[in-house]
Amino acid sequence: MSITSIVLVHAHAIFREGLRHHIMALPDTIIVGEAGHGQQAIQLVDLSNPDLVLMDVDLPGVNGLEVSRALKRTHPQTGIILFNTSMEGSSVVKAIRAGVSAYVPRNIAWPNLLELINEVRNGGYPINDLVLSLPEVAAQVIAAFRQMVVDEDTQSIYSPLSPRELEVIELVAAGHTNREIASRLDISNQTVKNHVSSILRKLAVNDRTQAVVYAMRRGWIKVVLPGD
């Protein structure tokens, strides 16, 4: 595995110190910077272009959700793991819309966090598993996405995506990780990442979830949502 670069973002240095202590013991991993507030985090990610950002939602100035939205516009391939106290459905919906890859409680055990870090750096979106594991959260997420489809005008059925990009976005919609998509399409993991970046750019969206909703709304792909 190639070296994974990580940025830590939390208002309290003692929390960052705890994360740093554990992460520095991981193989093939390097911490390229730390930030204590939102604006500093955005500037740091712009400079270091990390693979992962581990960030708390409560930050001075620009909060973690706003930082996530800003980062996904400029660094769509950077995975974001967001810490929060609230695990309510409305909070999860906001995190998904912000492009967060994983959404976890602040008191998460290190072995569980390590598992999430490995999944996100392999292109996974553990936040999807969170939605499916909590029925009340899933109901709110599905309702929010359905409302997004209703609220936005239907546009031309013409797709600016290539046939291969449509294959990729359909597999993304089905919940496959980048590695799984690469295996199914017999292409490299980096090629999948390139396709995803191209899709986000062409559709002018911030993250994979928004791209899926966009493609579903226009009838380019068909996906059965959980609970249907």
Q: What is the pLDDT of residues 79-134, one digit of tens each?
A: 999 999 887 777 887 888 788 889 999 889 999 999 999 989 888 888 877 766 66
Token code pair at residue 79: 């995975």
What stretch(es) of the chain map to CATH 1.10.10.10? 152-217
What stretch(es) of the chain map to CATH 3.40.50.2300? 4-134
| pLDDT tens-digit series, residues 19-66 | 999 998 888 899 999 999 988 999 999 999 999 999 999 998 889 998
Rg (C-alpha) for the chain, rounded Å, is 17
Average pLDDT, the chain: 83
Judge whether 9 and 67 are in contact, CB under 8 Å: yes
Distances (CA, A) of 162 to 73, 133, 158, 168, 210: 21, 34, 11, 10, 18
Whether 155 shows a pLDDT value over 50: the answer reads no
Q: Quick one: pLDDT at residue 86? A: 80
Name the least confident of 97-101, 143-147, 150-154.
Answer: 150-154
User: Closest Cα to residue 26, out of 46, 49, 48, 52?
Assistant: 52
Pick the CATH number of 4-134 from 3.40.50.2300, 3.40.50.720, 1.10.260.40, 3.60.15.10: 3.40.50.2300
Q: Quick one: pLDDT at residue 227? A: 43
Judge whether 93 and 139 are in contact, CB under 8 Å: no
Judge whether 100 and 124 are in contact, CB under 8 Å: no
Q: Quick one: pLDDT at residue 191? A: 92
Q: Quick one: pLDDT at residue 228? A: 44
User: Closest Cα to residue 165, out of 198, 189, 136?
Assistant: 198
* CB count in 10 Å sphere of residue 170: 18
* CB count in 10 Å sphere of residue 12: 11
Pick the CATH number of 152-217 from 3.40.47.10, 3.20.20.140, 1.10.10.10, 3.10.129.10: 1.10.10.10
SS3 131: helix
